[in-house]
Amino acid sequence: MADEAIPAATLILVRECVDGPPELLLVERSAGMAFAAGALVFPGGRIDKADHELASDHPEGDGAMIAAIRETIEETAIPVGLRPVPEANDALRLQDALAAERPFSQVLLEMRLELDLTQLAPFARWVPKFHAVRRFDTLFFIAQAPAGEWTPRVIEGECAAAYWMTASEALERETRQEAQLIFPTRRNLERLAQHLSFAEIVADAHAHPVEPITPWVEEREGEKFVTIPDHLGYPVTQEALVGLWRG
């Protein structure tokens, strides 16, 4: 098997709350998936050739941004990165079309929608080497949820469920053994949990470089720890290897 990582993109969609920290859109991966089965993750997936082709018409962005938008809509029907913001029924139609593998560019044209890639900002890039079978080189973006009350809808085969929840709530669910988190998701949630608004998250993203993060194992006093760099904005940079579920 080639060691080359698969290019992928993920979107951290942020919804402001009046009386507390912002909520994030998380999806639960289906139990039968080869990678991170059953885990809570941010919406995302592979970057396709068609994403790069569509990006050629949008010099303000790239194929990774388009993949992040496309996958979020396909997995949850929440129409981020589009103008105008479609009505709820149109967002469901868009999701159905993508689930039926219709070209994103064609569906946008038919529905008179345009991409607005300026809504997305780079947040992180993770390239773990935990997996011998399947590795991903994943770009993480952040964006603010479209205005209105958007309830995610999942399609069988894409995800098992989707939720709005705060970063702290997701971490607490794992502590209570009500959810599973892979290593990169846990670290990103800890970073996001530091902030009380979307503006703070954006400021954090701008304050730190986006560099490939490939965790490594360090041994201290006979115990092994999975470790990441300490200059990229993450409040926790080590976790004991023993018992670590990596997805």
Along the 247 residues of the chain, how does pLDDT read in single tens digits? 456 899 999 999 999 998 899 999 999 976 554 455 568 999 999 999 999 999 998 888 899 999 999 999 999 999 999 999 999 999 999 999 999 999 999 999 999 999 999 999 999 999 998 655 678 999 999 999 999 999 999 988 778 899 999 999 999 999 998 889 999 999 999 999 999 999 999 999 999 999 999 999 999 888 999 999 999 999 999 998 886 655 4
Rounded alpha-carbon distances, angstroms, from residue 84 to 102, 180, 244: 21, 36, 43
Give DSSP secondary structure letters for 32-95.
Answer: T-SSSTT-EE-SEEEPPHHHHHHHTT-TTS-HHHHHHHHHHHHHH---TTEESPPPHHHHHHHH
For residue 103, how many other CB atoms are within 10 A of its CB?
A: 14
Q: Please give the model's pTM, rounded to 2 decimal places.
A: 0.93
Residue 45 has what pLDDT?
93
Domain boundaries, the chain: 6-181
Q: What is the CATH number of domain 6-181?
A: 3.90.79.10
Residue 1 has what pLDDT?
42
